[in-house]
Amino acid sequence: MRPMCCRSLSSVVALLGLTACGGGGSSGGNSGIDPRLARLDVYEAQQLRLFGNPQTGAIGMAITQDPAIPAAGTLNFEGAAAIQIEHSSKTLALYGDAVLALDFEAATAAGSVSNVFGQALTGKVADYTGELSLAGDGLEGAEFQITYAGRLTTDATDYGFAGTLETMLLGDQVAGVAGIDLDADIAHGAGVLTGSVIVFGEVAATQDTPVAP
């Protein structure tokens, strides 16, 4: 799986595109800036630390080598999700907060994507209700699969998600995680749309990384 994940990492930077979600959606009086968009700065800084930026020469984290992976303990990651939904008329870009816990002894993963916002079909920035659950078991090594599932809704427009993230641990010692599905099938009405789901995060600031064996 490693060569595929390496190619996926190079695609992530281009796909994330963490910029203002179409604008025009502010509801905060006359401030002119939607406060939700400020969260993109946080996501972008994290993206830069994890993946780097080939255009500026910034170097991201390498995939963790197996000897550096803890044999026990739990790591909690905090980060973001970037979702693209391909409609025939436009591509919607959504963003949200992501949390993921990896239990190395039990070889399991559990987490969620919540507080999702982004473009709606109206062209405005909107909040999406619902969340995506993240889960996995039988995890082994630095590269593994976790599943995601859930529904996101805004303005009576509903999207259903169910898929698999090709996931990798990042850093010389485990410092980050990234899960990627570049060919997501997204249920919408009676049909299915295509898109992508990317989840990434860093070890929570309040937690130390368990020592590798």
| Structural domains of the chain ordered from first start | 2-203 (2.40.160.90)
Residues 6+ apart with CB under 8 A from 7: none
Q: What is the mean pLDDT of the chain?
A: 85
How far is Cα 198 from Cα 117, in angstroms, rounded to an integer? 15
- 3 state DSSP class of 154: strand
Q: Are 119 and 87 in contact (CB under 8 A)?
A: no
pLDDT at 92 over 90: yes
pLDDT digits (tens, 9 = 90+) for 158-181: 999 999 999 999 999 999 999 999
Burial 70-108 (b: 16+ CB within 10 A, else e): beeeebebbbbbbbbbeeeeeebbbbbbbbbebebeeeb
How far is Cα 43 from Cα 80, in angstroms, rounded to an integer? 6
Minimal CA–CA distance to 196: which of 10, 16, 62? Answer: 16
- Please report, for residues 99, 111, 113, 134, the alpha-carbon distance to residue 201 in angstroms, rounded to integers and kept in the order given: 7, 11, 11, 13
pLDDT digits (tens, 9 = 90+) for 15-40: 555 444 444 344 444 456 777 777 88
Give this prediction's pTM. 0.84
